[in-house]
Structure 1
Amino acid sequence: MLDEISLKILNILQEKARIPNVEVARRVEMAPSAVLERIRKLERQGFIDGYEVRLNPERFDRRQIAFVEVQTRLVGDHPQIGQALTNIPEVQEVHYVAGLDGYLVKLRVADTVELGAIIREKIAVITEVVSTRTTTVLHTYKETARIPIRG
């Protein structure tokens, strides 16, 4: 179980992962060395998976987001299918989902032309794939990997 200070540290790091350790220490009213040790402990315990930079997709001509429902001929979750979808560079997320008994894939591409090519040339060619259904995003109001932390 995490204490109040660890929860505060995690919230601060989610807000800005590159925040200086001294600033985190100031905000939780602890010594920087103690905060650093807590962060290392949170990493070792698996509460922190890593740190990554969020790039601006528009600067890389990746404005279009699409969600593709992928139905397969196999019933159930099959790691080889999930891995094949994961290996497509434009894929940002792959989820095995209930309901359609298949996969929900999030793609970020330049435009619908590229989207169509990826579906035809990279997704539909996976042997077990039977069909796809695509939803394109017109406008994004929120996109985050942050997890709400109580405390």
Structure 2
Amino acid sequence: MDIKRTIDETDLQILEILQVKARIPNAEIARQVGMAPSAVLERIRKLENQGIISGYEVRLNPEHFGQKLSAFVFIEANCASNDTLADRLADISGVQEIHQVAGEDGYLLKLRVADTETLGRILRNEIATIEGVRTTRTQIVLSSLKETRRVNLNPPAHD
């Protein structure tokens, strides 16, 4: 079992580099942070084992796969925390994100689909038919100005 340790400045540099380009060679990371490749590899493995790095993935352009429309769907649920409802929502094709939220709506979904016809079909035939879904409100994205999964490793200090 790996002992938890504090993330230092070098770890932050490594994480920043990996967030920009996860496939960067280990030797290049080592060069950028001024360490031996073996030491960098050991740090990366520790960050993975601690769950700080939770995985690596490729970002695909959804338009190349006919998924040009993004939409956010607010779902008012009969029950605020319903694992079955969340599991059913997760099984719907096109759902990229599910968030349980505070306020009137219980869930916020991000969908990526081909067009408004497909979105309407999913709303009527899949989401609305799930037990526990009371109402939905949908916002269609006109254009995306920024989309990222990067984590801010240098948040502003609070006064």
Shared fold by TM > 0.5?
yes
* Distance (Å, rounded) in 2 between the aligned partners of 1:73 and 1:117: 22
Give the gaps of 5 or more residues in structure 2: 1-5
Cα deviations by residue, 1:116-136 (Å, 9 ceiling, x for unpaired): 011111111101111110000
Give the residue type in structure 2 aligned to 1:49: S
Cα deviation, residue 89, structure 1: 2.2
Query: Percent same amino acid among aligned pairs?
Result: 57
Aligned residue in 2 for 1:62: 67
The answer on 1:84 being equivalent to 2:88 is: yes
AA partner of residue 22 (structure 2):
A
Segments ≥4 residues shifted beyond 4 Å: none
Displacement after TM superposition at 1:38 (Å): 0.5
* RMSD of aligned Cα (Å): 1.1
Amino acid at match of 1:20: P
Matched, 1:32 2:56: no
- What is the CA distance between 1:61 and its match in structure 2? 0.7
Gaps of 5+ in 1: none
Where does residue 114 of structure 1 map in the other structure? Answer: 118
Q: Partner of 1:8 in structure 2?
A: 13
Cα deviation per residue 1:81-125 (whole Å; 9 max; x = unaligned)? 111111112100001111124100000001100000111111111
Higher relative contact order (CA 8 A, sep 6+): 1
How many residues align structurally?
150
Distance 2:17 2:83 in 1: 35
Distance in 2, Cα, partners of 1:101 & 1:112: 22
Structure 2 counterpart of 1:63, which letter?
K
* 1:43 alignment partner in structure 2: 48
Q: Work out the CA distance in 2 between the residues paired with 1:101 and 1:92.
A: 18
